[in-house]
Structure 1
């Protein structure tokens, strides 16, 4: 189509029609994503998480992927939201902002946000700008609005810090998070930094808690052997070895890595190194569930 041949009214009509179709397609995307999430199909596709599937498998940017995940999961809980998305009353940025606030409230106050509360705040966000949405959400949950300052002490004496890392420095931090993911399963950088601070303080001050090892025991010796085996495996298998049988794609996640028996113990598999492999926790669980089905059939 030659757009230059269209007059102003025709361009306006075309733009609004395309925007409407775009919102309709977005709703279909979210419904499809919701079903993939419910089935955990991304594991079968060879990805450790829904986020990795959208970024690496589908091609979304990280921000776009997270916004769609937030919207799909909220849509599952609040189906009425579909109409608001299709009409343009709500957009992904607003929904993602709301979901982030809900996670923060749950984490800080250890109290889940109810479906009724979510519905109430959504009713007030229609046609609001992003700045207005920030104010509405912050007021509703009694949360401070994030400021674009480098360092700011907030009402509860917490400190908000904004910093820029080089590509190399960020890669080092991500690698450290992966290596310590069994101790700190959250990918939240603030949680990880607090964990590191606790470890350094304990090491430098000599303080020990009741969970520290008191001395060598048979149990500790076995644990050390197991740890040595895992370290040896990780040298040759530094990531999840799960492979999608349909596409041949390997998961390659480095998050929550576990040692798995290729031929399981219930099927007379042994502990020899040749029978061991590294899987992420998600694919290790999937393998167990698949094998449980086989055992039930037999």
Structure 2
């Protein structure tokens, strides 16, 4: 029942009503543990008395997976959580926090965890925390979705987070774009400063680091539309992200939409006026006939 309510609230909202910002704080951008260990992912809110809290997990190339949620005092696990593992996902809830603890961690628990709240008819999410498994030489790429189409002539920045575990060090990062159907992706940008925007996990003995790379797009045109992929070479492997779809809303199309709506509105008004006049004439004609008969 709780997930039905949350899904209705989340998916019936316009995407512009989904925000990330200072209302939700998740601490460090990454956390680590060993297989079979335990880890607590913090989630704090600047608001007190939040009714709905949620935790989602994101794995590269897959959709967001609900982990656990709370509606008032009712706590429920996501449908994707196996029955045997529900006791391993616990939450510590207060007026301003909703901390998630994962016990007996498995390899499948690795991924990016987002905490969110529903506050005054709007969802707010934290920046996310990446959970990685110590001793696993893995490379993960996470690309963030664009909530709204970009306007022609405006600027936009695409982001790619590279998380490397067990083999932290230099890596090469490239951007590809796949445009029109049938076209082949080509390298459009390669990052030269490979240490920019990187931070190591603060835990002692950890060799995992998280790096954020940006691809700025200026003065957008319709030819910039397409899916942009981030690729990284490290840990003896090449990994490609899930892609960020960039849609461009044309100014011409927007003007045409305004003109079309205005024309339809004008036609509707004229139609109503004609109907009113016809009804008025019919009533007057009927009234005259009644007067003559009497």
* Greater relative CO (CA pairs within 8 A, separation 6+): 2
Give your verdict on TM over 0.5. no
In the superposition, the TM-score normalised over structure 2's length comes to 0.24
Max radius of gyration: which structure? 2
